[in-house]
Amino acid sequence: MHVTGEIARAREVLAQVRSRGQRIGLVPTMGALHAGHLSLVELARTETDFVVVSIFVNPTQFGPAEDFSRYPRPIESDLHQCRRHGVGLVFHPEPVEMYPPGYRTYVEVTGLQNGLCGASRPGHFRGVATVVLKLFNILQPDVAFFGQKDAQQVRIIQQLIADLNVPTVIRVGPTVREPDGLALSSRNQYLDPAQRQAAPAVYQALREAEVRIQAGERNPETLRRLLVQRIEATPGAVLDYAAVVDAETLEPVQRIAGPMLLALAVKFGTTRLIDNVRVDL
Ligand code: AMP
């Protein structure tokens, strides 16, 4: 397995891979790898010939009061996991390699970046879109793999590659969960035992709303209120948002019809967790 933090070296490795006619799959991550990330690596292994994992805690997607400096960076165990899962190249640059002095260019996917997580994390998706486009330009993957857990991120990246004619195919993997339903996240390790015990309520609330839809509920506000009530009834949970949105536009739906996302962001102490369920009627 190749490991480098240098753009030039990563390009050398991948030029050789390409010259062998192999297709390159990229799994972009911020590290602290868990089974959710590794499910995307496995998907990449089945669908491409050479898997690249990028590990980069991207400073431009964190707000000033967010957890950039304390975000976990267990690089040795991440490399070990990558080796075990047949990764061909780990690209883990330092911030200065990606954003050298004098850096000025940012990408914005207007509209889609403003609601849901964008409302509580201003500038977050500008940082995400920018770093993903940079990774695509640096590594030029044939296919890139993202998790449905970050549904707004997926939607924004799909729009970005369509609008800017990026020749990378986007594949989306399902959310991997703990046995009790909690979506795996590198941030789960911030939870204290009581918070960890309460956290599955997020997914339970989403599932309950989904079941109501299947049982015939067609009022989005009723469903949204159900989500709010379930979170308000959860010890230690503070609601950031509860939303029932169109899966394409990410705008709140007026009626329950086409593909939708039921989405929650909930804080437990300083830890903010997100989750969503996609509903296709
Ligand atoms: P992150 O390291 O949090 O930036 O996540 C890197 C990639 O892994 C993103 O595409 C995420 O959507 C995906 N991911 C994170 N958690 C999960 C999960 N529980 N299941 C599936 N994919 C995930």
Give which of 193, 186, 195, 142 is closest to 168, Cα–Cα. 142
User: So what's the pLDDT on residue 15?
Assistant: 98
What number of residues does the chain have?
281
Residues known to be catalytic: 37
Cα(215) to centroid(ligand 1), Å: 31
What digits encode the pLDDT tens for the residues 114-131? Answer: 999 999 999 999 999 999
In short, whether 173's Cβ falls inside 6 Å of ligand 1 is yes
Residue with CA nearest ligand 1 atom 12: 147
Low-confidence ranges of the chain (pLDDT < 70): none
What digits encode the pLDDT tens for the residues 10-53? Answer: 999 999 999 999 999 999 999 999 999 999 999 999 999 999 99
Give which of 202, 206, 207, 176 is closest to 191, Cα–Cα. 202
Residue with CA nearest ligand 1 atom 19: 184
* 3-state class (DSSP) for residue 148: helix
| Residue 150 Cα: closest atom of ligand 1 | 12
In short, whether 183's Cβ falls inside 6 Å of ligand 1 is yes
Cα(148) to centroid(ligand 1), Å: 8
In short, whether 188's Cβ falls inside 6 Å of ligand 1 is no
In short, whether 273's Cβ falls inside 6 Å of ligand 1 is no
Residues 26, 35: Cα–Cα separation, whole Å: 16
User: So what's the pLDDT on residue 84?
Assistant: 98
User: So what's the pLDDT on residue 281?
Assistant: 86
User: So what's the pLDDT on residue 43?
Assistant: 98
Cα(205) to centroid(ligand 1), Å: 21
